[in-house]
Structure 1
Amino acid sequence: MAVFAFFPSLTKHLFRDRLRTAHAMRRRQKELLVPLINARREYKSRGGKPRKETTFEHSYVDTLLDIKLPEEGDRPLTDSEMVILCSEFLNAGTDTTSTGLQWIMAELVKNPEIQEKLYEEIKATTGGDHEEVSGDDVHKMPYLKAVVLEGLRKHPPGHFVLPHKAAEDMEIGGGLRPHGATGDFQAGMGRDEREWQRPLEFSPERFLPGGAGEAVDVTGNREIKMMPFGVGRRICAGLGIAMLHLEYFVANMVREFKWQEVAGEEVDFAEKNEFTVVMKKPLRPRLVPRRS
């Protein structure tokens, strides 16, 4: 929807059908989400507490209901604003996950020795009894996490994160950033050779203990040398979901199949900008079952 805000008088005529479709989707989102938001609002107003059988305490919707906007007289978020934010929370991990998954698997096809090292870790962690690698299992696999982080470093979902606007005058790097000024941040810093040795090489070991990326995390809390999901207060709300899904899918796909390059369908790392940065030539590997 934000696309139509740049030139509304022009886009409403040029993209009439798309705008109609977008409005219909937003109405459907409101129909689905507003009753859930209202139910949670009523639950909080009655002092509701989580059930004993769950560890759930504070949901994303709780956070939205608690927000007050100081620059607008401490007003709460409207239902429409919460619907937009909830939709972004659910969707944010979808495109980044599918895009990141394809890039990571492409690197594993191109680097079979890394793929086999990851497979050995998966086997050692899960054994042969599990039907699948579980969400609990992935947290026990440091090399899996390193593979995913290296994939996000070399192939961030976008080369720029969404622009940020200064809420007040501030000094950054010795210069004044006035109120209302817009700042852009380059997610492509993960390929900066001033920050990373051999940045174009796919090397998960850099994220293991003793590696140059050991102190780096995708939230930017310790050190900002990569930002596939943004950083700070405006970091992507779907980060946790995206990371869990990436680790889960990569682990299970490598456990079940050996991913091999096909003659005539060699891996091509050329990029194409869509909603995210995708492979210009989609990955088409040969999958060989590992288990009979």
Structure 2
Amino acid sequence: MGNLLTIAAVILLPLLFLFLHNASSRRRLPPGPPALPLFGNLLWLRHSAADVEPLLLKLFKQYGPVVTLRIGSRLSIFVADRKLAHAALIGAGAALADRPTAATSSLLGVTDNIITRANYGATWRLLRRNLVSHTLQQSRVDAFAPARVWVRRVLVEKLAAGETSSPGNVMEAFQYTMFCLLVLMCFGERLDEPAVRAIEESERAWLIYISRRMSVFFFFPSITKHLFRGRLETAHALRRRQKDLFMPLINARREFKRQASPPASETTFQHSYVDTLLDVKIAEEGNRSLTDDEIVALCSEFLNAGTDTTSTGLQWIMAELVKNPSIQSKLYSEIKSVVGDDDNDGEVLERNIRDKDNKMPYLNAVIKEGLRKHPPGHFVLPHKAAEDIEIGGYLIPKGTTVNFMVAEMGRDEKEWENAMDFSPERFLDGGHGVGVDMHGTKGIKMMPFGVGRRICAGLNIAMLHLEYFVGSMVMEFEWKEAEGFEVEFSEKREFTTVMAKPLRPRLVPRRS
């Protein structure tokens, strides 16, 4: 009997140890560098939390595709593997659809009742549905077609003016003209250049200050808010500047909506995003209207989400076309064959892009390849676990911030052959990218707009703007590399990931 017990112990104890070990391993946090309580990882003594991407690339090589970082008291997990990202964002669903509360939001008293910041719930659904149903739906997008034609002409004028001396910084023209378009869609008014510039400078100052000067509050905010009080005062002043610029435009739309028959005007549109915000009622809070501060925050979100991402995408794509003249030539030939020289003075029309017969597939492929290789955002906006979940066998505790490496997935050599080559052909017949699901429902190959419940609401209009303006610029100019201003693909992180050395091409008009 004793021998039987000994034999049983010899057999069962290792199995029990293995079972317990596997159970505990399934519940452990992803690996990461050493950390101290409250302070976080020791590496923050040498690195800035505002420039975390290069650091993460090293950590993935050391620890694998899921890494834990502690920034102050906050636990953050970063995922670089596309299959794990799909399991988390699609498989976990609502469990990973919340947003972490930013330290700066509470310190500055900034509302989280905006689409990108609100937690997954009734208010978020209301605000997103309002944007999608009343501003981004097809009939509304069509109504702003004259605005895009106007902005296209402003862009061509800016680009042509930049050629009168040395090659101009085309990113400035992209940012200004995209901002013109978004201001018009937001406030329903075509403003003059000084007014647009004032709003643009206000928004950019706010974004850059928040991204570069406020990361110090990740660490011991109860203490740092006193040590760095001047930074908070500056941020408050920048926010007040936004409100001072926005409120006259918002109040003008209030008055416009009160009129039974608003007068038609060449500069005033019948619809604006602000119009929809003035009608929003939050049922869960006594059917109240949005406050002025909430409307200002939502307008700021609308302008920034649609401007920097699109202008950054335009810069990277046009830089690739400068560097790859054979691709540019092929694209021009396709556009010219569809648009011609006589119809509408050779301008690209939106119906050319939306044609159901897809007469410009190469243009679409160029845009997708640009977004794959150079996504404007190298991360998605951070997610927060609403409950304990599991990713790749690791525990993700409730309340943990989780983010995903967008650029790494789009450049994954295991998924994309010659991933760092610019090859639109991969999205054409026979290419590996044919049928790629930009929504990521069936699987993630690239996710420049995010995937899952918090996917970018503006995906379709962003694709329209990129195709329309890239097509228009290629039709208008031949984009060449200028001597002394050679294209370099090194990156710099601002609000988006931009070219460290801005694009300065030589533009040769295609038409007299």
Q: TM-score range by the shorter chain?
A: 0.7 to 0.9
Measured against aligned partners, the alpha-carbon deviations of 1:89-143 in whole angstroms (never above 9, x if no partner) come to: 2321100111111110110011011001100110111111223112221234211
1:154 aligns with 2:373: yes
- Equivalent position SS for 1:184: strand
CA distance in 1 between counterparts of 2:281 and 2:361 reads: 36
Deviation at 1:250, TM superposition (A): 0.6
CA distance in 2 between counterparts of 1:115 and 1:275 reads: 28
Change (3 A) 1:238 1:156: same
1:21 aligns with 2:238: yes
Deviation at 1:160, TM superposition (A): 1.4
- Equivalent position SS for 2:508: strand
Q: Equivalent pairs: percent with the same residue?
A: 57
CA distance in 1 between counterparts of 2:275 and 2:405 reads: 27
CA distance in 2 between counterparts of 1:103 and 1:185 reads: 21
CA distance in 1 between counterparts of 2:247 and 2:309 reads: 24
2:325 alignment counterpart = 112
Deviation at 1:150, TM superposition (A): 0.5
2:352 alignment counterpart = 137
1:262 aligns with 2:482: yes
**Is the radius of gyration larger for structure 1 or structure 2?**
2
CA distance in 2 between counterparts of 1:241 and 1:23 reads: 30
1:164 alignment counterpart = 383
Instruction: Give the root-mean-square deviation of aligned CA atoms.
Output: 3.3
CA distance in 2 between counterparts of 1:213 and 1:225 reads: 8
Measured against aligned partners, the alpha-carbon deviations of 1:223-266 in whole angstroms (never above 9, x if no partner) come to: 31212222222222333332221111110110011111122221
CA distance in 2 between counterparts of 1:232 and 1:36 reads: 34
If each structure's helix is expressed as a fraction of its own residues, which one has the higher value? 2
Deviation at 1:76, TM superposition (A): 7.8
Contact 1:61 1:86 in 2 (8 A): no
1:241 aligns with 2:478: no
- Equivalent position SS for 1:119: helix
- Equivalent position SS for 2:449: coil
TM-score normalised to the size of structure 2?
Answer: 0.48
Contact 1:37 1:61 in 2 (8 A): no
- Between 1 and 2, higher relative CO (CA 8 Å, sep ≥ 6) is seen in 2
CA distance in 1 between counterparts of 2:394 and 2:322 reads: 46
Change (3 A) 1:173 1:163: same
CA distance in 2 between counterparts of 1:186 and 1:75 reads: 39
Deviation at 1:170, TM superposition (A): 2.8
TM-score normalised to the size of structure 1?
Answer: 0.80
Measured against aligned partners, the alpha-carbon deviations of 1:40-98 in whole angstroms (never above 9, x if no partner) come to: 9x9xxxxxxxxxxxxx9x99948x947778xxx99989534454234312321100111
Deviation at 1:206, TM superposition (A): 1.0
User: Match for 1:124 among 320, 337, 350?
Assistant: 337
1:87 aligns with 2:304: no
Structure 2: gaps (5+ residues) = 1-103, 106-209, 259-270
- Which amino acid in the other structure matches residue 98 of structure 1? S
Structure 1: gaps (5+ residues) = 43-55
